[in-house]
């Protein structure tokens, strides 16, 4: 058995195509959707993520602005940038790129974002609405995973789901969405006893713990759906040889680095029934759902 490839890139393109008429309609009504980004410092990965998101906005016709603050910015500096976006009628969605430098109080910053513009779904009001199953904005990565499962006709209701990772950004909202879809959900973390044994109970396994290649064949029930949220960069050739599928090794040799997930693809692919690739799985969906949330935010005020 070889796992079916759950193509997040293709699914993200479907979502973008569905959004295009809404963007055109809103733009024609002088309500072009607008995204305001706050980027603090010059962290290379953050800069790449922001560039990918703004390029996606350009492709769809969404207005965007990026406020770049120095690495030395204070909490007050970042809050001031968010407050300005809060007041702007042409900015419908606000994205604070994480992580923030240690001197910046991330909780305070995220709490300042207008909940009606919180397209990342991190404000406590939106978190509470999600808990109550009456969401306004859902965090983009777990929302994208639910879109992926639905569009690939993967049944969630009645299934056993295991989420490895308990972050506010992915793990917790992922568990809530699966529970709301009538799965029986277990959340695991670094202190879970017999992690592999618990994971093997899953019909749907979501790996979001941030450890390259942690989930191996002994974590996976034969035929299970495995969703890999990990985004880990590997530069060591020996580690790359261990973690990468053979088809990806020439690319690693050419570039000297590769992106790998939390799932050990070489061992899991023969066991799982379906698997998201890294790259090309969850990442493109996260961006597509950010666009979807921004368009919804714009539509809500027209």
Tokens for 57, please give them: 């906005």
Query: Considering 114, 118, 120, 228, which one is annotated as catalytic?
Result: 120
What CA–CA distance (Å, rounded) separates 286 from 48? 14
How crowded is the C-beta side of 16, counted as CA atoms within 13 Å?
20
How many beta carbons lie within 10 A of that of residue 13, not counting itself?
13
- Annotated active-site residue 117? The verdict is no
- Annotated active-site residue 53? The verdict is yes
Tokens for 220, please give them: 């996976």
Query: Considering 97, 159, 172, 292, which one is annotated as catalytic?
Result: 97
Catalytic positions, please?
53, 97, 120
């Amino acid at each position: 058995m070889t796992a079916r490839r759950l193509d997040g890139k293709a699914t993200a393109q479907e979502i973008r195509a569905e959004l295009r008429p809404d963007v055109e309609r809103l733009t024609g009504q002088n309500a072009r959707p607008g995204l305001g980004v706050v980027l603090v410092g010059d962290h290379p990965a953050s800069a790449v993520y922001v560039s990918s998101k703004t390029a996606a906005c350009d492709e769809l016709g969404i207005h965007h602005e990026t406020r770049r603050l120095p690495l030395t910015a204070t909490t007050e500096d970042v809050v001031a940038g968010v407050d300005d976006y809060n007041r702007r009628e042409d900015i419908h969605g606000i994205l604070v790129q994480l992580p923030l430098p240690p001197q910046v109080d991330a909780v305070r910053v995220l709490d300042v974002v207008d909940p009606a513009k919180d397209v990342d779904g991190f404000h406590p009001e939106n978190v509470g609405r999600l808990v109550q199953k009456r969401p306004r904005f859902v965090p983009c990565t777990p929302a994208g995973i639910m879109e992926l499962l639905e569009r690939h006709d993967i049944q969630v209701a009645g299934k056993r789901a295991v989420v490895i990772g308990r972050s506010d950004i992915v793990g917790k909202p992922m568990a809530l969405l699966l529970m709301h879809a009538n799965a029986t959900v277990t959340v695991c973390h670094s202190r879970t006893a017999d992690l592999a044994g618990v994971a093997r109970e899953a019909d749907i396994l979501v790996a979001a713990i941030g450890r390259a290649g942690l989930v191996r064949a002994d974590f996976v029930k034969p035929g299970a759906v495995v969703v890999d949220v990990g985004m880990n960069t590997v530069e060591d050739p020996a580690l790359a040889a261990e973690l990468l599928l053979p088809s990806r090794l020439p690319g690693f040799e050419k570039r000297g680095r590769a992106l790998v997930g939390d799932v050990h693809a070489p061992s899991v692919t023969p066991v799982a029934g379906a698997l998201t690739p890294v790259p090309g799985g969850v990442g493109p969906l996260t961006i597509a759902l950010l666009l979807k949330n921004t368009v919804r935010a714009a539509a809500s005020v027209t």
